[in-house]
Amino acid sequence: MSTFERYFKDTLVNRYADFNGRARRSEYWYFVLYYMLILFGLYAIIGIAAAMESGVLAAIGGGLVMIFALAIIIPSLAVAVRRLHDTGKSG
C-alpha cells in the first residue's frame, strides 16, 4: 500500500469524524490527492457515457459521484480542521 493510500484509508477508517488533534502537511495533501484521483475517475465514467450517448451509464456515474461526495464530506472537513490545528489556527 502506498503512502497516500495509507493516509486516505487511515482518515476514512480511524479518523472519520475526528476533529481533534493535528494533521501533518503530508497527511492532508495525500488525502486530497487520493480524493481527487477517485473523483476524476468517476467523472471519466460520466465523460465516457456522454461520448457513447448512454443515459443509463451517465446516470450511474452521476450517482456514484454523488454518493462518493456525500460519503467523503465529513472526513474531508475533519482532516482540514486537523490541518488548521497543526498550523496554529482554530477549526
Each residue of 22-70: pLDDT tens digit?
Answer: 888 888 898 898 899 999 998 988 888 888 888 888 888 889 999 999 9
> Could you give the CA distance from residue 23 to residue 28 in angstroms, rounded to a whole number?
6
Distance CA 61, CA 54 (A): 11
Rounded distance, CA 62 to CA 20, Å? 33
Quote the CA–CA distance of 60 and 46 in Å, as a whole number: 8
Smallest CA-to-CA distance from 78 within 20, 6, 36 is with: 20
| pLDDT at 91 (0 to 100) | 62
Whether the pLDDT of residue 7 is over 90: the answer is no
For the entire predicted model, the pTM comes to 0.81
> CA-to-CA distance for 22 and 79, rounded, in angstroms?
8
